Amino acid sequence: MSDTLRVTFLGTGTSVGIPVITCACDVCTSDDPRNQRLRASVLLEWEGPDGTARVLIDTATDFRQQALRAGLDRVDAVMYTHSHADHILGLDELRIFNFVYRKAIPLYGDAATVAALRHVFSYAFDPEAIGVPQLELETIGSQLTLFGVRIEAIPLGHGRGTSQAFRVGNFAYATDCNKISDEAAERLQGLDILVLDSLRRKPHRSHFGLQQALAEVERLQPKKTYLTHLSHDLEHAAVEAELPPHVRVAYDQMVLELPLPEDWRCA
């Protein structure tokens, strides 16, 4: 895996997950496991200076279940897209990694996200507290370096707020968005793989609908796109049958691997 970026989809669902509590629709009762979606999150892995680095994007509400299902035995860092509940509420589950490895885990986000994490999880930053997550909050700008690799943070419109896309080499993860500025679009050029928000068939005030997502794919021209943050409005097989070959529907536990360009490596 020395020159490879490995991406594992820990969850591909919207904030309520799939199946939805109380719902008996065809997607929520489907026997296709690709329609069973935990909240959206991915795990990135690459070979760093001291071995394999394991970096989460978001600690979703279902993180404990996701980690057990994926056999995740270490977390080296977390990058947060934004501070909405379904993307942060699994944070407390990081404690076990602190207990096992006896070191703090760095968390990265923009200024608003860092402030929200400090507020929501205030107990974790109480110097007198015992048995709480040991965390190091870091505010990031347009880029950061983690475990020998350069990562770009790209602000996207998300309703009245923003969400950060993260680009590593020719891979980018852009969940929870309904607007990509011209500047952001320029930074998302030349991608081998784009993971893009597509909540449902019709537009939403803070997420791309399916046709809007496809319009952005046409604009950005990645070689391959995987749709995520999916609601029960989107049945996996039916949607894939409608899509062009270079656009697919992501599903929980899907694994992608792609080359990690040398010019994204840092000494």
> What number is the average pLDDT over the span 152-176?
98
Q: Does 261 have pLDDT greater than 60? A: yes
> What number is the average pLDDT over the span 135-142?
96
CA distance 18 to 14: 8
Number of helical H runs and strand E runs in the chain? 7, 14
> What number is the average pLDDT over the span 134-142?
96
Pairing of strands 41-48, 4-11: antiparallel
What's the pLDDT tens digit per position in 199-211?
Answer: 999 999 999 999 9
Q: Tell me phi and psi for residue 104, to 5 degrees.
A: -75, 155
What's the pLDDT tens digit per position in 203-232?
Answer: 999 999 999 999 999 999 999 999 999 999
Give residue 10's pLDDT. Answer: 98
Task: Kindly indicate the confidence band of residue 127, based on its pLDDT and cuts at 50, 70 and 90.
Answer: confident
Give residue 60's pLDDT. Answer: 98
Can you say whether residue 114 is alpha, beta or left, with left for phi > 0 and alpha for psi between -120 and 50 degrees?
alpha
Task: Kindly indicate the confidence band of residue 168, based on its pLDDT and cuts at 50, 70 and 90.
Answer: very high
Give residue 142's pLDDT. Answer: 96
- What percent of the chain is predicted at pLDDT more than 90? 97
Average pLDDT, the chain: 97
Classify residue 179 by its DSSP letter.
B
CA distance 173 to 41: 10
Amino acid identity at 74: R
Q: Tell me phi and psi for residue 67, to 5 degrees.
A: -65, -40
Give residue 185's pLDDT. Answer: 98
- What percent of the chain is predicted at pLDDT more than 70? 99
Give residue 52's pLDDT. Answer: 97
Task: Kindly indicate the confidence band of residue 254, based on its pLDDT and cuts at 50, 70 and 90.
Answer: very high
Q: Does 267 have pLDDT greater than 90? A: no
Look at residues 153, 169, 149, 67 and name the one whose alpha carbon lies nearest to residue 113.
153
What's the pLDDT tens digit per position in 170-189?
Answer: 999 999 999 999 999 999 99
Say what the pTM is: 0.97
Contact 231, 199 (CB under 8 A): yes
Structure tokens at 103: 């070191």
Give residue 49's pLDDT. Answer: 93
33: helix, coil or strand? helix
Q: Count the Cβ atoms, other than its own, within 10 Å of residue 131.
A: 8
Give residue 158's pLDDT. Answer: 98
Q: Does 1 have pLDDT greater than 70? A: no
Q: Tell me phi and psi for residue 125, to 5 degrees.
A: -110, 15
Angle, vertex CA 40, rays to CA 33 and CA 99, nearest 5: 105
Q: Count the Cβ atoms, other than its own, within 10 Å of residue 253.
A: 16
What's the pLDDT tens digit per position in 49-76?
Answer: 999 999 999 999 999 999 999 999 999 9
